[in-house]
Structure 1
Amino acid sequence: MVEDTMFSGESKNIEYKVSLPDKSEKYMKTIVAFANTQGGKLIVGVDDKTHQIVGVENDVLFQLMDGIANAVSDSCVPQIIPDIEPQTVSGKTVIVVSVEAGKNRPYYLKSKGKDNGTYIRVAGTSRQAFPEKIKELEMEGARISWDELTCVGYPVSEEATEKLCQDIEKFRKKAGMSEHSVKKEQLINWKILKQSEGQLLATNAYALLTSDYFSFSKTQCAVFKGKDRAVFLDKREFTGPIYTQIEEAVDFVLRNIRLGATIDGLVRKEKYELPPEAIREMIINAHCHRNLLDESCIQVAVYDDRLEVTSPGGLYNGLTYEEVMNGHSKIRNKGIANIFSQMGLVEAWGSGIKRILNAAEEYGLPKPKFQEFDNMFRVELFRNSFQMINEKENIGEASEKHRRSIGETSEVAWRTDLNDTQQKIIKLLSEDHQLSAVKLAEKIGVASRNIENNIKKLKEYGILIRHGSPKNGYWEIVDKDLQE
């Protein structure tokens, strides 16, 4: 029931106030954050610590509701129009302020300005948005896709254009699609190239599809021993056109999982332990929906018990987790999504999650896990413990033999070297796992925003994981070697 969800505890979409603070700014941050993220409800008359329904006195009920409406109107830019209504729960009256995900982003506090007054929801708290997040919100509000913007200074060469056109044709043929010639005119129609004053200009999508121009455009792949990131068995970093990264990453995973044989009557059939179509879908989705304003990389990790694919950027433009699981889709990178569709890499919009779930079910695997964070999205496909006939070597041994056979070495780092501040953060958190960003800033002697930026990177590297609530939770250092 909706009521059960509303009063079962604070979350990304629910916040409680036992009473209205004297200063409206304290709860206006939440209103703004809801509008900038996935919407939500601010409920007045519920204790945020005990979840006890305290209620609001009837003689001040409508006065408080009017006060909230006026505060929202006076404090928030652009205009936010919440739905404010009383609701009776367990014989007591509470005020429910419902805010929809806004379309005119970014929303911010007028008194603080856009740079300092833009807030988003992270887990169960409202936090000031980083500059890169504000930029993404601006693009969402303007209905602009970053990959369709002009890539200033990037050349449009006949050679690169011809290769991209030929590769699109090859992918179409491989996917069994109708064959037709692809020329630069199609690339212009698909907004991959632009015409301006008789010149052809490259978009960011064109650069991503023809080169390794952007340093963040790479797919980091690794095999780990066990169920965490403590010990590497193999690691690779793939760059170049993103569609080649997808194929190389899929091949990497297939090389590092078991390939066995099953007997169907008199016919012997080879079969991977994980469905290749699900692996491919996970990696395609990561590239198609990633946040290109976030300079992190896509990561593909093979563990003893699962395959994990992580892409930068949470859900896009107010899309909720529930909507994603029900097949809804909002396109973050329109140019790339269009090309993937033309190549046959994307079959139907919003079908990726369902295809992964169906493939896992057909294989008899545990249900895949989908996790949404404030700055990343992760899909986990779990491996079965069964043994197949004529099973290949353990993944570590197979991976090592493969490296020797092709003469490769694993010199690519899964993450960049930690800077001085990040090393100090790890050292302090190894001594006290509950230190806040403010406390870390005091001990290290830098600004809190500096700490928050570095913590964000450590989380993206897979080194730090946050457990529990922002107030009462703790940090886990995943890479055990860093604690020594």
Structure 2
Amino acid sequence: MDNTIFSGESKNIEYKVTLPDKSEKYMKTVIAFANTQGGKLIIGVDDKTHQVIGVESDILFQLMDGIANAVSDSCMPQIIPDIEPQTIEGKDVIVVSVEAGKHRPYYLKSKGKDNGTYIRVAGTSRQAFPEKIKELEMEGARISWDELTCVGYPVSENATEKLCQDIEKFRKKAGMTEYSVKKEQLINWKILKQSEGHLLATNAYVLLTSDYFPFSKTQCAVFKGTDRTVFLDKREFTGPIYEQIEEAVDFVLRNIRLGAAIDGLIRKEKYELPTEAIREMIINAHCHRNLLDESCIQVAIYDDRLEVTSPGGLYNGLTYEEVMNGHSKIRNKGIANIFSQMGLVEAWGSGIKRIVSTAEQYGLPKPRFQEFDNMFRVELFRNNSMTMAEKKDGEDSEKVRKRFGESSEKTQMNELTDTQKKIVELLCYDKQLSAKKIAEKLGLGSRSIEKNIKKLKTLGFLIRHGSPKNGYWEVTDCDTEEKNK
């Protein structure tokens, strides 16, 4: 018998002391397991103390039949769990094992696909956002969005030629085997498609050659202090995503300290953060982002850290532990392939491990990785441990910024409309307010409030955690903990 399943709740295990009267309460968990990476629901164990309470033996099989019927009646498409009794510490429990489903998305029949689709996030079952539902549909159909045809988008010879030449240049720069890249390779790599003598553009081709998609941006900013209240500089990069990566890396390097030490007769320059880790963070964000989410990639520099946030959590139920063990599930196959051909991705599944190891070699604190419902964030901490000599011989980020004519100290708050400021103020005091409630308090229409909330999310003022119904707002420029006491 597997005792590990009784060692505590995790992303893949959930306990119930008794079977809830309403099957919907545990059906959400069954659906979330099927939509993520499978899991076990254990009936007869206290979810708070993990104490084995057991199920009465005279109703054991009756309960098991009830669970099988409830799953069959409530879930779409059909989920067939493995339901078995196990004896632990002399008491009987029921173990409901659900496999990761192949016909996603699974949802509660009574609520329908839009409102009844659930996923597992950090050990809880949460309602899926619309963009996550779209992604689950594509997983179920075994499709990568970037490999789909971008209907009506023209394939131009100039854009194709530039992409081919750039791939060759990147290969040379990375010290890879040099070879001539032509449109035939782009067809083999599924970046271009052939149909009845015509060349069709995939979404990956569009992302690699243009600024056509409004969400394909890298927003970079430098903030004063350790939060987003006052920004010193901001830039927004668009165009081919590999160019965005280069520009974003350069932006970070311009805005962190460049120290220098004299080693013998040689002056050696060294940035306060490892360039390899910076590049890896930004490449990873572009390679693994959810392209069905209309948010942008954000790169933020604070006094104490570099933070890179990408839309979409870890893909297809992947856990942080699995990522650290070198597992890799590829969300964007076309882009991942081109990044590999360019030498931007060296080895699958090694990106996050490399960020951790380079930070360790640099003597930096351990990087932090955070997964929310619809985004993934990597934080690399600055320890400001450069010696005075290194700082003196190097350049401070302020000087560099001024030299580039990019210092523009002003408060982001000043750029907001009155309505947006009022929304921020209300959410500082009550982070669980719905758009409808905010509209009532401000005497405005719900649609207007939703539009302004979307704008505040894009500007980085608001971050949504949890499901639309039970989640809460994080306001990035007010001390919410203080105000919510």
TM tier, smaller: 0.7 to 0.9
Deviations 1:154-196 (A, max 9, x none): 1111111111111111111111111111111111111111111
- Where 1:367 maps in the other structure, the secondary structure is coil
- Where 2:317 maps in the other structure, the secondary structure is coil
Structure 1 residue 385: Cα displacement: 2.3
Identity of aligned residues (%): 81
Residue in 1 that maps onto 2:477: 479
Residue in 1 that maps onto 2:74: 75
Residue in 1 that maps onto 2:426: 428
Structure 1 residue 350: Cα displacement: 0.8
- Where 2:310 maps in the other structure, the secondary structure is strand
Taking structure 2 as the reference length, the TM-score comes to 0.87
Residue in 2 that maps onto 1:164: 163
Q: Judge which range, 252-261 or 31-40, deviates more.
A: 31-40
Q: Which amino acid aligns with 1:173?
A: K
1:197 pairs with 2:196: yes
Distance 1:427 1:390, change over 3 A: closer
- Where 2:125 maps in the other structure, the secondary structure is strand
Alpha-carbon distance between aligned partners in 1 of 2:198 and 2:167, rounded to the nearest angstrom: 23
Q: Which amino acid aligns with 1:331?
A: I
Deviations 1:18-50 (A, max 9, x none): 322223223212211121123333232344466
- Where 1:317 maps in the other structure, the secondary structure is helix
- Where 2:234 maps in the other structure, the secondary structure is strand
Q: Which amino acid aligns with 2:230?
A: V
Distance 1:220 1:214, change over 3 A: same
Structure 1 residue 453: Cα displacement: 9.6
- Residues 9-408 of structure 1: matches in 2 within 5 Å? 12-48=11-47, 53-88=52-87, 92-388=91-387, 389-391=389-391, 392-403=394-405
Alpha-carbon distance between aligned partners in 1 of 2:184 and 2:79, rounded to the nearest angstrom: 43
Distance 1:435 1:87, change over 3 A: farther
Distance 1:278 1:195, change over 3 A: same
Structure 1 residue 445: Cα displacement: 8.6
Structure 1 residue 435: Cα displacement: 4.8
Taking structure 1 as the reference length, the TM-score comes to 0.87
Distance 1:292 1:471, change over 3 A: closer
Alpha-carbon distance between aligned partners in 2 of 1:291 and 1:185, rounded to the nearest angstrom: 28
Q: Which amino acid aligns with 1:302?
A: I
Gap runs ≥5 in structure 2: none
Structure 1 residue 369: Cα displacement: 1.3
Distance 1:416 1:12, change over 3 A: farther
Deviations 1:307-334 (A, max 9, x none): 1111110111122221111110011111
Distance 1:242 1:410, change over 3 A: farther
- Where 2:373 maps in the other structure, the secondary structure is coil
Alpha-carbon distance between aligned partners in 2 of 1:448 and 1:94, rounded to the nearest angstrom: 48
Across the two proteins, how many residue pairs are aligned to each other?
Answer: 477
Alpha-carbon distance between aligned partners in 2 of 1:277 and 1:326, rounded to the nearest angstrom: 20
- Residues 464-475 of structure 1: matches in 2 within 5 Å? 464=462
Q: Which amino acid aligns with 1:396?
A: E
Distance 1:200 1:385, change over 3 A: same
Deviations 1:104-144 (A, max 9, x none): 21112233332333222344543332322211101011110
Q: Judge which range, 207-216 or 225-234, deviates more.
A: 225-234
Structure 1 residue 364: Cα displacement: 1.5
Alpha-carbon distance between aligned partners in 2 of 1:463 and 1:379, rounded to the nearest angstrom: 18
Alpha-carbon distance between aligned partners in 2 of 1:149 and 1:467, rounded to the nearest angstrom: 30
Distance 1:440 1:94, change over 3 A: farther
Is the 8 Å Cα contact of residues 318 and 329 (structure 2) preserved in structure 1? Answer: yes
Distance 1:310 1:244, change over 3 A: same
Distance 1:61 1:443, change over 3 A: farther
Residue in 2 that maps onto 1:463: 461
- Where 1:200 maps in the other structure, the secondary structure is strand
Q: Judge which range, 322-331 or 128-137, deviates more.
A: 128-137
Is the 8 Å Cα contact of residues 129 and 468 (structure 2) preserved in structure 1? Answer: no
Is the 8 Å Cα contact of residues 235 and 413 (structure 1) preserved in structure 2? Answer: no
Root-mean-square deviation (Å): 3.6
Gap runs ≥5 in structure 1: none
Runs of 4+ deviating beyond 6 Å: 408-416, 436-439, 444-457, 466-474
